[in-house]
Amino acid sequence: MNHINLSAGKTTGLFAVLLAGLVGVSLAGSAPVHLIFFLCWTWALICACLYIKTSELGGQVFVSTMYLFIATTFLNQSLLSVQVGFFSLFIYRLMLIVALIILLVKANGAKGLHDLWDQIYVKGVLFFLLFWMAYGSISLLWAQSVIDGVKYLFLLGIGIAFIFLAVFSFTKIRQLTVFYAIWMFMTAALLVIGLVNHFTGFQLPTSSLYGGSAYKLDYPTAVFTNQNDFATLLTISFFFYLSYAKNAEKGGYRVLTLALSALSLYIIFLTDSRASLLAIAAGLAFYVFMFLPGKFKKYSAIAAAALLAGGVLLYSGKIVSKLIAFFTEEPDLSVYGTTDSNVVRMHFLQSTAHYLADTYGFGVGAGNLSYYLEYRPLFNTDHIYEVHNWLAEITGNFGLLIGAGYLAMYTALFVSLYRMRQRVEERNQKMLIEGALAGQLAFLVSSISPSSVSNLYFHWVFLGFVVTLVSVLQRDRRLNEVKPGGVKR
């Protein structure tokens, strides 16, 4: 195992050097210098391929590429961005192309995808994702803006492609532990950038605050477009750090990850993202609930249900009036005024509900919800045309079937992990499961903060981690149920 880990580390390091060289080539100045750098990089690439081919590293190429791919997703578009029409080539998109090519070569040498497919225990999830893409493609038939639809499907396809790549490449817990470690390490780097943003007012060109008003420059954005996107990532990372600290064997690592979780919370506080703070509170409540003894869990669940019911009864009048207003309020013709942010968010949801009703629940078509909010407004959204709610974004674009399907898939993954946590005993497995569970809940709450989640690639990386974790744990459980002779216990 150590030999395999060392080989994967060598291969990943070699690829990282090549990728850094490619970035250097892209940043070269004059044409002659650019040509010399490109020739040197090409020569280095050929030498690396020959070395991998003739050494023991060849078997680790796919996994190593995926490790590097995961790391590059955290860089967003901060180091390399090449515009080709409406298509932008970033580092992680370049790595996606490389990973897909390697997967196709690997599949061709393994009797097609059959051998790889047999190792997958989340086939239902993968079929749903394929159906989502197919439905989105068909929805272009009634979409008002086909161009917006194609752009959206491109982003969706990139995200779904990562999930497939992750499921096919990571088949062991130790590989997912490396995945988890890469997430924590790259988040730590982003936390440093966030601190620089706050204390110096320096923003990267990828930020919408770059070159903006001075009073806004202390918001941490790291490599993201705005602070809300960054805060949503940190809600997941907070629980990754917390789960690692809880399950770490060495005190030094425990202290370090606790400090990083505290720093994540501090940065979230600096972003002023109320949804992300609420997500942390919800995740912490669930995290504590997980470790309660059986009887206390039962009593806690009953108490929580009683409090919820009491709250509903106490505020039933206000709740009913709000619901009546939501469903009966007529579209406001003065759609271009200014209004409160909470009212705007309500108008987003009301508009989405009207669009769904007008399309008989099929949705306005892939990527067209923003088009409708801008060109066919029903309520005042203060010149903002993104719905700021991930579930509403999915349902508004793709209809009730896909919206309910996504929520059902997400819930099924959550329930599967929760049940598995009751059975596992190894520290690594507990760490991965607990971090994934709390992260899932936190993301679901904080996903009402970003303007759109479809272009936040870390969401797809996280979802790929969760799906792959369920698949690997299911596979290990099935293998443990079978004796060496092939007979179930």
pLDDT digits (tens, 9 = 90+) for 121-141: 999 999 999 999 999 999 999
Q: Are 472 and 176 spatial neighbours (Cβ–Cβ below 8 Å)? A: yes
- pLDDT value for 1: 42
Local confidence band at 446 (pLDDT 50, 70, 90 cut-offs) = very high
- pLDDT value for 227: 94
Local confidence band at 5 (pLDDT 50, 70, 90 cut-offs) = low
Q: What is the mean pLDDT of residues 84-101?
A: 76
Structural element, H or E, at residue 90? strand 87-90
The size of the chain, in residues, is: 489
pLDDT digits (tens, 9 = 90+) for 180-200: 999 999 999 999 999 999 999
pLDDT digits (tens, 9 = 90+) for 148-167: 999 999 999 999 999 999 99
3-state secondary structure of 182: helix
Q: How far is CA 356 from CA 60, 246, 310, 345, 410, in A?
A: 47, 44, 32, 17, 22
* Residue owning tokens 């993301």: 443
Packed helices 427-446 and 400-421: angle between N→C axes, nearest 10 degrees: 150
Bigger pLDDT: 451 or 110?
A: 451
Token output for 340: 């409160």
* Residue owning tokens 């590059």: 72
